[in-house]
Amino acid sequence: MDKKICTYICTGCGIGEALDIDELSGVVTGEMSQECKTHSALCGPEGRAFLENEKSSEGINTFNICACSPRVMQREFDMGDDCITVRANLREQVIWSAGEAEEGQEDTHKEWLQETASDYIRMSCTRAKKTEMPEAYEMESMNKDILVMGGGIAGMTAAIEAAKAGSKVTIIEKADVLGGKANGWAKQFPTSYPYAELEENSIGAMIAEVEASANITVKTATEVARIGGAPGAFNVTLKAAGTKSEWDAPAKVGVDEQELIDKGEMEDPNAGLQPYAKANDAGESFGAVVLATGWIPADVSEYEHLGYGSNDKVVTNAEFEAMAKNGKLDGVKKVAFIMSPGADEHDEDFPYANSVTSMVALKQAKYVRESNADAQAYILYQHMRTPGNMELFYKGVQQDDGIFMTKATVTGVEGGTVHAKDTLLGEDLDLEVDLVVLAAGMVPTTKVENTINLAYRQGPKFLDLDLFDGYADSHFICFPYETRRTGIYACGGVRKAMNMQETIDDATGAALKAIQAIESTDRGVSVHPRSGDKTYPEFFMQRCTQCKRCTEECPFGALDDDEKGTPLPNPSRCRRCGTCMGACPERIIGFKDYNIDLIGSMIKAIEVPEEDDDKLRIIVFACENDAYPAIDMAGMRKHKLSHMIRVIPVRCLGSVNMAWIRDSMSAGFDGAMLLGCKYGDDYQCHFVKGSEIATKRMENIGDSLSTLGIEPERAKSESVAITDYDKISDILGEFVEEIVEMGPNPFKGF
């Protein structure tokens, strides 16, 4: 692209009153050697017409808009796919965050304000010069079919909704029939007003709808043996359910054990290894995958005081449901439903339990009452959760004289006696019952087995399961259904414990995400969170040292490698976070509009005064997902930011290459801060591990700075939530105070 660049400075929103626009224009035309024009309201109809005319009559194809934050007015400043637009944030992060001048400091305050604005314009001019036009990634062969793993409510709903949207869908179900856990339900929760009475199980109607759809293929008694490839070209190998494939890890067999196997005295643990999976190595092709493999009941035998496994009067809620389904409640007149482990777990429910187990207890209490008019049900809970319309169901159950509920700590079960204390009645209870039902939680299948055998560099499983307690999710709050493997979306019990209606809604969302991923892949652009991004990482392989850091640190498994360790990119797996770029010590990875040289040049474009304690310079690399918006919102509320700070937005802290920190210090910057999403127990990172990875890198750079005689405290990493806008001023202000106390960078002037 033969670029023709022009900078446009908006004087609206108070920018023209607060800044010397002629001086800023001089920075552009003088120092930066670029054309510059001004307008009173670039975002308005007249401003847009002005920019359109610049494109058509002047041939401008690279627009440097110096106005408001790049997070706003994106549509107004989108000049088309044939143009590049960069932004300088003069409003939120310059004039709105400057604060009021102290008495007698008006001239100095205006000077600092002008310096800040000039630096942001220098950086945006540099970005405009260095940015290249991205080209969408084109796949050689594209498949738009969807694979659904699991034939329960979640899987069938995802298949039905995707099929209605025109997609071809294949359901893989390891059981002999569709329906999953719902096949074992006696009845289901009410789905319509007044939400009072239980309804007949509707799973049969859903199965019939699946079987009647011309767009849905069903394969029962089948499992996925292996998934390779990428969105638009997943390569899936299937196997007979319950058998092993060549990719299943073989059991280790010692010499003595092998002798016993040979003699027929011991069963071969590797028996059943299927050549069938190997024979079909080419597999089937799919564009996206919906993971809907469901859940299994939690093991509650660890709570010995409750007697499960040793007391035949104690069953789980799943076992009780089967009894009701099979008509085995005759003679059961008193049942206690225990919602919490009790004993020392005073305020805790059973693991993997939530509102579903509360509602199941209410439903099963009604089973007891419906089976015998004289029967009684006792619900002992720590938390009773009935969200939405289920509150009406709960209130209806409360009106039943034969159902008793109380908050209580169950201390033990002996035979048919339940001992409880700390009840709402203010007294201890000893209940004599025929049966005790424990509210076992719903453990996602991903917690207990490798339901999805991935042929990825980072291994066959999702790496984030420990972080999410086994649930298949990579960002539960901002990106539901998303896993850490692009194009694979989770729903139903593998995402959280949920009831039928929630599962249907969840599966519909996952199906739409799968379709969205396919369509984005077909257009050669990324999916969330950088939806529509045409860029993708490019590698200068001639300088690659096969260190494998990019393949190991990529949060999404976008990179495989060959036998030498050379990275093998899968662009349609990539989320465009740039973590690989930040990891590369040789700086050989970059994007058309975001790379080591581009950001490094922006750093060098900032004017760093020499030996002036009032003009120290601190660079802040702010994550575009949480930190940068928080800084913007602080500016909107006129929270003051120090005039010493210069902010550069980054895709993710994981993309920050430590070369930028070294370059900053070498250029005379007095401090450098990484400001990103929260990680750890309060995890919020859009790219899973970016903030955590960057923090570890900063620890290492601190050691390097020490060897150069620079205090490691000059480089710091902090994490914030997007809602921490009220804390931003203090966080950055405290760091500024620390730098001021240390004084200028000893490298300044060299």
Q: Is 460 in contact with 453 (CB distance < 8 Å)?
A: yes
Instruction: Give percent of the chain above pLDDT 90.
Output: 77
Q: pLDDT tens, 237-275?
A: 999 998 877 777 555 556 566 666 676 776 776 665 444
Q: How far apart are CA 324 and CA 328, in angstroms?
A: 6
The yes or no reply on domain 146-296+445-523 and CATH 3.50.50.60 is: yes
Q: How far apart are CA 395 and CA 373, in angstroms?
A: 20
Cis peptide before 529 (omega within 30 of 0): yes
Q: 100-109, long-range: CB within 8 Å, 24+ apart, which pairs?
A: 108/614
Q: pLDDT tens, 66-121?
A: 999 999 999 999 999 999 999 999 999 999 999 888 888 899 999 999 999 999 99
Predicted local confidence at residue 244, as pLDDT:
78
Q: pLDDT tens, 697-737?
A: 988 887 778 877 788 999 999 999 999 999 999 999 999 99
Residue 747 token pair: 């490298």
pLDDT mean over 211-217: 98
Predicted local confidence at residue 272, as pLDDT:
54
Predicted local confidence at residue 257, as pLDDT:
62
* 538-590: CATH architecture: 2-Layer Sandwich (3.30)
Q: How far apart are CA 406 and CA 384, in angstroms?
A: 10
Residue 645 token pair: 């700070």
Banded pLDDT at 280 (limits 50, 70, 90): very low
Name which of 84, 68, 24, 73 is nearest 48 in CA terms.
73
Name which of 335, 357, 502 is nearest 440 in CA terms.
357
Q: pLDDT tens, 568-583?
A: 999 999 999 999 999 9
Query: In sequence order, what are the beta bridge partners of 647?
Result: 620
Residue 682 token pair: 């309060």
**Residue 544 half-sphere exposure, CB side, CA atoms within 13 Å?**
21
Q: Kindly list the domain boundaries of the chain, sorted by start residue.
A: 1-133, 146-296+445-523, 299-440, 538-590, 594-750
- Paired sense of beta strands 409-414 and 35-39, if any: unpaired
184 Cβ neighbours under 8 A, 6+ residues apart: 318, 321, 322, 325
Average pLDDT, the chain: 91
Residue 387 has pLDDT above 90, yes or no: yes
- Paired sense of beta strands 146-149 and 169-172, if any: parallel
Predicted local confidence at residue 706, as pLDDT:
80
* 299-440: CATH architecture: 3-Layer(bba) Sandwich (3.50)
538-590 and 594-750 in the same fold: no
Evaluate the CA torsion angle 60, 62, 67, 69 in order and state its sign. Answer: positive
Q: pLDDT tens, 398-451?
A: 999 999 999 999 999 999 999 999 888 888 999 999 999 999 999 999 888 888
Lowest mean pLDDT among 60-69, 452-461, 681-690: 681-690
Letter for the amino acid at 198? L
User: What's the distance, CA 162 to chain centroid?
Assistant: 23
The yes or no reply on domain 594-750 and CATH 3.40.50 is: yes
Taking the C-alpha atoms of 519, 170, 182 and 240 in order, what is their torsion angle to the nearest 10 degrees? -140
Q: Which residues of 594-708 form beta strands (DSSP E)?
A: 618-623, 645-650, 671-676
Predicted local confidence at residue 468, as pLDDT:
66
Determine the topology of domain 1-133 in CATH. Rossmann fold (3.40.50)
Q: How far apart are CA 95 and CA 112, in angstroms?
A: 11
Residue 577 token pair: 């976070």
